[in-house]
Structure 1
Amino acid sequence: MTDSITRPWTLSFRDPADGSPRTLPAQVPGNVLGDLFRAGLIPDPYWGSNSVALRPYEFVDWEYRTTFAAPALQPRERLQVVFEGIDTVADVFINGTCIGHAENMVIAHRFDIDTALLKADDNELVVKIRSSANAARDYRVPPASVATCDYNTEGLFLRRPMHTYGWDIAPRLVGAGLWRPAYIEVVKPERWTDLYLTTTHATPMSSRLLLRWNFASDRPTLMGYEGRLTMECRGHKFERRFPIYFTSGGFSFELPKAHLWHPLGSGAQNLYNVQIELIHDGQVVDTRTWRTGVRTIELHRTEILDAERKGEFVFIVNGRKIFIKGSNWVPSNAIHGEAPERIRQNLELFVDLGCNMVRCWGGSVYEDDAFYDFCDEHGLLVWQDFMFACEVPPQDEAFLARVRQEAEAVVCRLRNHPSLAIWSGDNECDEIFFYPPFRRHPPSTNRETREVLPQVVFRFDPNRDYLPSSPYLSDAVHRLQDRTRAPEQHLWGFRDSWKDRFYKENQAVFASEMGYHGMTNVESIRRFIPEEELNDRHGPAWVCHASQPFGVLNGPYSYRNTLMENQSRNFWGYLAEDLEEFMKCSQIAQAEAMKYFVELFRARKWDKTGLIWWNVIDCWPQFSDAVVDYYYVRKLAYYYI
């Protein structure tokens, strides 16, 4: 049983300008940047170059505070406080006593509450969050741990989204906060702790499933326990009682004439309501419910394209090859915890575009359960990266232990979703091993993706495929020093013109990134670029929304506006100076490019097995390759696709 914390929260900190103490109302779930803006203490981070001016807040420590009434407990029950998301390094206090420590933004944290600490009412809950920028200074970063850009280095040891330090699709906004729900939970002495239900064989006539369980009990013996599994879909009901002899166990069972789950465009998304009851001496002591789909998903792939450039990378669902028509998922909002309604709105665009797969890119967070529920309901296969992007992460034992803890939590939370098609170790980390000084080492040197993550997937989700990286560059590919020999590739190449032979002649069997810039609609630009800077395409505001941090006009991401101009110039033979004309020229060039990319893969179907293009929608107002801007204004390419 959960008890929401409904009393108001406050946020306290010292003003970075003068050190004076401040306290203001806090929104939970939320982000300190949202609270500061609502209180009028900072300008809109998305307007002009305002995000650059917020750097002093990166070095501030924060204190969230509220009170709660402790729920009444039955004998043998205990209490926990649960935070589904804390950004990031934090200590939690109840009535002045520290009860727990957190240092991972992307997983939930549970802390036991000693009832001796509690009062009848008005128990004080305090969360002290340390500056992420300062917390990162505690670590010595060795030369072999690198991020793509120097200003991402502080993200190497902290488990929080890399994009928050600045990325080519997101601003640098290093905030903090209780960004997902927080609540008090009553923990029963007898309860399911781990439930895994997976399909091992699926046909319309007969399917086979596997159930594995763990449960907790404080009884002196395990006599008198049994379980009951019920599954129901469209009038088809299955029930099975099973004996329990120990706190863990499982069994396989036949599900005759099952209603199968299919990806969008391949059949219906039939979902079974699953209920599993834990029974002791005839009394139900715990019940868990969820929805699942009966289906099998496999990835058939080869390590390398052979000398004739032949290889395999194809998804098989319910025994049939599926041609993948997907797009990449980036954060729904650059400031996590703010505007959660955008998640569903953004997913609806994927369905409207006819996508059958969404690739969750590894520079962000693992989305909440509602995201995967939507994908289950609408037939969107999920390619799930673990949260590493364009980096060689630390390889020391302490960090690997944190990664293992994170992966176990994420895999166990998401594995029962039928839409989840594949785990991928990271985004573009193998590629770093093709550049000095890492070129002398094979990609398998990365212990996160070659040891820790595959072990976790094998232990906790053994019926789902794991890909070490995207693109996965095997040691065999590395020995040739030829990334084009990988079956799955990210096709960025010569980006000034989609007519370049790089695209036409590519031999990739599957592309999981491929995109082209398109100018944001002018009515949207006016919502984030000041009037006096509208026509200065290389001025501070435009470069800031490119997205280049720190106000540096010639930084590593400032190229994006120049790239957008070059793409338009190469298509039309001239560069439009008028803003409206440039917008139209740029969007037509993007639309024609995206049309060509999609047709290139579909025309060679089964020689090429799918395209996950980049990307549907922006996470903040910017100039990018998305086909929908942050304000949900569609570019021309959206309609072409």
Structure 2
Amino acid sequence: MKRNSFIVWLFLLCFTGVTAQNRYELNSGWKCRSIEDEKATGEAISTPSYSLSAWKNAVVPGTVLTTLLANKEIPDPFYGMNNELIPDIYKTGRDHYTYWFVKSFKEETPVNGNQVWLTFRGINYSCKIYLNGQLVNKEPYEGMFLRKTFNITSMLSKSGDNRLAVIVYPPNPVGNPNGGQGGDGAIARNVSHQYVAGWDWIQPIRDRNTGIWDKVYIEKTGSVNLVNPHIVTLVPGKRVPDGVQKDAVIKVSAELENASAEKISGVLKFSVEGDVVSQKVSIEPHKTVKVSLPNYILKNPKLWWPAGYGEQNLYKSELTFEKEDKTVSDSETVQFGVREIQTPWNPITQSRETHVNGQKIFIKGGNWIISDAMLRFSPERYDAEIRFHRDMNLNLIRIWGGALVERPEFYEACDRYGMLVFQDFWMSGDCNGRWLDPFKIDDQWTRRKYPDNHNLFLESAADMIKMVRNHPSLAIWCGGNEIAPPDDILHTLRDSILPALDGTRIFFDYSNTEKMSLNTIGGNGDGPYTIQPLSVFWNHKTWPFNSEVGSVGVGDYESLKRFIPEKNMNLPVHHPNQKPSETADSVWTYHTYTGVGYEGSLEPYGTPKDIHDFCRKAQLVNYDQYRGLMEGFSSHMWSWYTGVIIWKTQNPWTAMRGQMYDYYLDVNACLYGLRNGSEKLHAMCNPVDGTLMLVNNGFDPVSNLTLVANWIDMDGKNSLIKQETSSIDASCSKKLNNIKKELDVLAKEKGGFLQLQLMGANKNVVSENIYWQPDGNGKYSGLAQMKEAKLKVAVKPLKAGKLEVTLSNPTGNPVAFFNRISVVDKKSGERILPTFFSDNYCSVVPGGEKKIEVEYNASSKSRLVVTVSGWNVAEKEISIPKIK
């Protein structure tokens, strides 16, 4: 993603934040130097007169590696085998990646009792902070997930010229990246993310992400600082998205910190929708108090709903502390959504249901690792990634326990797009001892006591709860990935901290606990993780709320060439009796290509001729796998299942496992197969027994529906198989007629296409689903013989950065099969990323037409074109007309 294309937008965002909060970030002008090169003390370095002429520019927020990369001292570790050229901290020792970070800034000493505060939102892993020759943190500051705020009023220079110096130390121990999940597991002795020592979907991060990795900012207040506001919304009863709503209850509290030596009295006010709720309060000198306001009754509230079920309405409110003399000491703007979440037990499925505002939601989720493995976060990247999840017709994202509690900007995007969030804390079955593991340095029982500092874990957890608890998207807390924390952490977190600081969301001990999904079939409570025959998704009962199931995600040729050198773009060859590591290129396996079942799944389409053919056929498998997965689970909605979470939907680096779009935000066919299979109102066919089915994910029944099942042969000839009228109740799946005999006869020779069209009362198509069927031998022999379809493409600009692309397939053509649309820079030939499509990898029947909306970043000064190419459609390039 080209970050510079969003500079204007980011400037406006930051400017708005400054004026709203009297707060500014220290996010530029930093310098850094290794302690191997700099021997001066923190007192000396933080003196404004100390020379930094030998120091280099630093990236903050960032890590040592992001700084080295920006200074071109290391190659891009995400490309080829470059990561192997970067020294690993386990071999170099921690000093090699221990760095000073220095920032000079202007801020005058305040008067009249006003205060200045310095906040770090995340340092990995420990540090000492100096300002103008003085040590700021008198107590140790360690732990990746702990925010710290320091009152620096008395330390500011009278001249207004200030020097901040921070020495950041790596985790200890750093862990041996020996090929295990989390390496030798020792990284989990810290309260930090675990994937940095390597996993089966990523290579080790060489500095373990040491640095000032999250925001640093200065805030100016009066003598009382307002912190940790908390807003709880209660929405009693069963609601619907539209119409007049019954009242909602808003419960508000905040902490007030008196930095002065005098007792201060005043009023805490909460303002929303023109109304004000207030509470008088007195705060003793140098004390912090929690203040709860009287309940606010919100009339006819605009509710927040998950994606696909209603609007994501958000309210902007302000909390203000006003002193007795009417001066405002501090204020905070808080955005929140009005919703309530319940998680009752379903006795039929033996698993939890998720209810929002009294309505049950069938969970269609994706597992998320982290936006960027080197912690290069940005609001625009978060926005793109969460939008992709919304576009997949998903409604939940689970944050895996080997990473972090996601940033407020992530949650803001989830709030906008209606993604519920299942948030793990920092445990994993791999590092924390669920299993025996020969790769680990400690035995299973020792690892179950990780991390070393339990109090730090609990302190960090409490702080992260406060950081994100106001977001309506946050739905579920979880102790860890596939394992619960040690008992003392678990009991304190579950029984004390969460009830006190949140109390509105369910807490699961671990991600596949039987408290979430009763395990009656053996195994670990999740999986499988490889390509499955579609029959498995439909006929094989798995865990009733499966927290991890999924398989493939290799991108197309354009995606692969971004991180695989041309000399390594070699075709993986399928050998049933050999491991992929023995047959695939070493760069492919380094980027976690497993090939388990992948090439075998391509064989029915014909053995790939070259790498281009491999990538093209891989997209067919990608689409079919994820459409089939979601259709199979949806077919047993509320009878077998209450939800499913795909492992996984994105990669934070250039890997080839489990992704709907690549690291560079380029989509592959997984996304659109999943989008199709997850439609709100969907027509589908069981591939095992040929039963036609309807799925309704909505809250309302739908009547006067007509389902038309057409067969289209390889020459484009259309014949009606079945047409029937039906209706469907709210939130359910429904079986209709069986067409297996007809399909077997029609497909026997060459295969063909089954087109399902579900039409409403006005004959408008509300769902279209096109399956490509194999021949009687299970081969797609007809696809290999398809004639070219002379597809017509028209491009209509709707506004800057938004197009309508119309694909028309004239009568007499064969099906224009599996067309990929892209927006491309004409000069470079590279795709514009990210680009969002209302559909892609789509097929158009003879005489049919598809209109697809396309959105992209319009700031590029280059000439852009739309390209379309398909299985049997020659690539077309269409210039984008100017907006009239």
Q: TM-score scaled to structure 2, two decimals?
A: 0.61
Between the aligned partners of 1:249 and 1:210, the Cα distance in structure 2 is 11
Query: Secondary structure of the equivalent of 1:523?
Result: helix
Measure how far apart 1:421 and its partner are: 0.9
What one-letter code is carried by the residue in structure 2 that aligns with 1:212? S
Contact persistence 1:383–1:423 (CA under 8 A): yes
Percentage of matched positions with identical amino acids: 24
What one-letter code is carried by the residue in structure 1 that aligns with 2:134? T
Report 1:530-569 matches (<5 A).
Answer: 530-535=565-570, 537=572, 538-546=584-592, 560-563=593-596, 565=598, 568=601
Measure how far apart 1:388 and its partner are: 2.2
Query: Secondary structure of the equivalent of 1:412?
Result: helix
Between the aligned partners of 1:481 and 1:148, the Cα distance in structure 2 is 28
Given the alignment, which residue of 123, 127, 131 partners 1:90? 127
Report 1:29-108 matches (<5 A).
Answer: 29-56=61-88, 59=93, 60=96, 61-100=98-137, 101-108=140-147
Give the match for residue 160 of structure 1: 192
Measure how far apart 1:314 and its partner are: 0.6
Measure how far apart 1:497 and its partner are: 2.9
Q: 1:147 to 1:381 in 2, by over 3 A?
A: farther
Give RMSD over aligned pairs: 3.3
Report 1:129-278 matches (<5 A).
Answer: 129-132=168-171, 135-136=172-173, 149=181, 151-173=183-205, 174-202=208-236, 204-217=245-258, 224-232=265-273, 237-244=274-281, 247-250=289-292, 251-278=294-321
Q: State the Cα deviation string for residues 362-417 of structure 1 (Å, max 9, x = none).
A: 22222222221222222221111123223326637961101111111111111111
Give the match for residue 513 of structure 1: 548
Between the aligned partners of 1:591 and 1:638, the Cα distance in structure 2 is 7
Q: How many residue pairs align between the two structures? A: 587
Query: Secondary structure of the equivalent of 1:136?
Result: coil
Bigger shift: residues 495-504 or 346-355: 495-504
Measure how far apart 1:217 and its partner are: 3.1
Contact persistence 1:7–1:67 (CA under 8 A): no
Contact persistence 2:342–2:354 (CA under 8 A): yes
Give the match for residue 426 of structure 1: 480
Given the alignment, which residue of 481, 490, 493 partners 1:449? 490
What one-letter code is carried by the residue in structure 2 that aligns with 1:226? V
What one-letter code is carried by the residue in structure 1 that aligns with 2:329? V
Contact persistence 1:524–1:633 (CA under 8 A): yes
Between the aligned partners of 2:329 and 2:599, the Cα distance in structure 1 is 66
Between the aligned partners of 1:6 and 1:451, the Cα distance in structure 2 is 36
Given the alignment, which residue of 612, 624, 642 partners 1:609? 642
Measure how far apart 1:6 and its partner are: 6.4
Bigger shift: residues 116-125 or 292-301: 116-125
Give the match for residue 472 of structure 1: 513
Q: State the Cα deviation string for residues 229-288 of structure 1 (Å, max 9, x = none).
A: 2222xxxx4333344467434233432222222112222222222122223325133322
Give the match for residue 417 of structure 2: 378
Q: Which one has the bigger helix percentage? A: 1
Contact persistence 1:62–1:131 (CA under 8 A): no
Contact persistence 1:587–1:637 (CA under 8 A): yes
Contact persistence 2:27–2:216 (CA under 8 A): no
Given the alignment, which residue of 274, 281, 290 partners 2:334? 290
Measure how far apart 1:221 and its partner are: 7.9
Between the aligned partners of 2:103 and 2:383, the Cα distance in structure 1 is 30
Give the match for residue 440 of structure 1: none
Measure how far apart 1:335 and its partner are: 0.9
Between the aligned partners of 1:614 and 1:586, the Cα distance in structure 2 is 18
Q: State the Cα deviation string for residues 54-94 of structure 1 (Å, max 9, x = none).
A: 13456312111222233331233343322222222222122
Measure how far apart 1:502 and its partner are: 7.9
Bigger shift: residues 197-206 or 347-356: 197-206
> Highest relative contact order (Cα 8 Å, sep 6+), 1 or 2?
1
Q: 1:217 to 1:30 in 2, by over 3 A?
A: closer
Q: 1:445 to 1:477 in 2, by over 3 A?
A: farther
Give the match for residue 482 of structure 1: 522
Between the aligned partners of 2:260 and 2:63, the Cα distance in structure 1 is 43
What one-letter code is carried by the residue in structure 2 that aligns with 1:270? N
Between the aligned partners of 1:584 and 1:167, the Cα distance in structure 2 is 28
| 2:24 aligned with 1:24 | no
Query: Secondary structure of the equivalent of 2:543?
Result: coil
Q: TM-score scaled to structure 1, two decimals?
A: 0.83
Give structure 2 stretches of 5+ with no counterpart: 1-21, 38-52, 240-244, 284-288, 433-446, 573-583, 675-884
Between the aligned partners of 1:53 and 1:74, the Cα distance in structure 2 is 53
Give the match for residue 467 of structure 2: 413
Structure of greater Rg? 2
Q: State the Cα deviation string for residues 126-175 of structure 1 (Å, max 9, x = none).
A: 1112233xx216x9x9xxxx996361523112222212211222231123
Query: Secondary structure of the equivalent of 2:309?
Result: coil
Measure how far apart 1:214 and its partner are: 2.9
Between the aligned partners of 1:334 and 1:397, the Cα distance in structure 2 is 22
Between the aligned partners of 1:104 and 1:15, the Cα distance in structure 2 is 23
Report 1:576-587 matches (<5 A).
Answer: 576=608, 578-587=610-619
Give structure 1 stretches of 5+ with no counterpart: 431-443, 547-559
What one-letter code is carried by the residue in structure 1 that aligns with 2:353? V
Q: State the Cα deviation string for residues 22-68 of structure 1 (Å, max 9, x = none).
A: 74211222222222123221111111111122134563121112222
Q: 1:148 to 1:119 in 2, by over 3 A?
A: farther
Between the aligned partners of 1:148 and 1:451, the Cα distance in structure 2 is 31
